[in-house]
Amino acid sequence: MKDEILKIVRTTKETDISAELKIYGEGRCEIATGVGFFDHMLEAFGKHALLDMKISCKGDTHVDFHHSVEDVGIVIGTLLKEAIYPVSGIERFGDSVLVMDEAAVSCALDLSNRAFLVYENFNEKGKVGEFDIELVEEFFRAVSMNANITLHIAKLRGKNNHHVIEAAFKSFAVALRRALAKNPRVNTPSTKGVL
């Protein structure tokens, strides 16, 4: 586990991203991706996971928001992987059911060093403002695959897409915070002896 500020710069023909992450922070975030709703979701994620994050993304938003959202997910996942593994002295597993008005979303995750995503019961079409709803799954897939996290997120109920998506980000945040909780009795939380 690395309890320090980690940094990354990732530049492609589609995005130019610089980011900093501290996993045991205070929830302080400076987010500027050029996608307003996504910024709002990342700020909520950082706040409730108690991560300190700085993210700057200049992307080809004149095309659409896909590359920016996916590539920010790749960067966050990469930083999480660097910070978390090898796993030692933490809970490893975390879960949460987060409600936001009529919406409820569950998240269960395992800092397993094995990437997997289950994303169920969400609307895949439509927009919140200019933000395409289908990009939420792309973000969570990019994070889970690059952080080597087994991540299950499921909508239990909800009609307002803004509420549902925000509940998903916050549920992920709380589950991650719980999985990262320090527990000196745990040592390496695996019968295999390594993660």
Residue pLDDT, tens place only, 49-95: 999 999 999 999 999 999 999 999 999 999 999 999 999 999 999 99
Q: Given this model, what pLDDT does residue 193 score?
A: 75
Which band of pLDDT confidence, cut at 50, 70 and 90, is reported for residue 21? Answer: very high
Output phi, psi for 55, to 5 deg: -135, 125
Q: How distant, in Å, are the alpha carbons of 48, 80, 91, 115, 190 from that of 186?
A: 24, 20, 7, 22, 9
Q: Given this model, what pLDDT does residue 131 score?
A: 97
Q: Which residue has the higher pLDDT, 1 or 97?
A: 97
Q: What percent of the chain has pLDDT over 90?
A: 91
Q: Given this model, what pLDDT does residue 194 score?
A: 75
User: What's the pLDDT tens digit per position in 125-149?
Assistant: 999 999 999 999 999 999 999 999 9
- The pLDDT of 19-29, averaged and rounded, is 98
pTM of the model: 0.96
Residue 189 has pLDDT above 90, yes or no: no
d(CA 14, CA 39) in angstroms, rounded, equals 18
Closest Cα to residue 148, out of 115, 195, 110?
115
Residue 124 has pLDDT above 90, yes or no: no
Residue 8 has pLDDT above 90, yes or no: yes
Rounded to the nearest integer, the mean pLDDT of the chain is 96
CA 139, 24, 16, 111 dihedral sign is negative
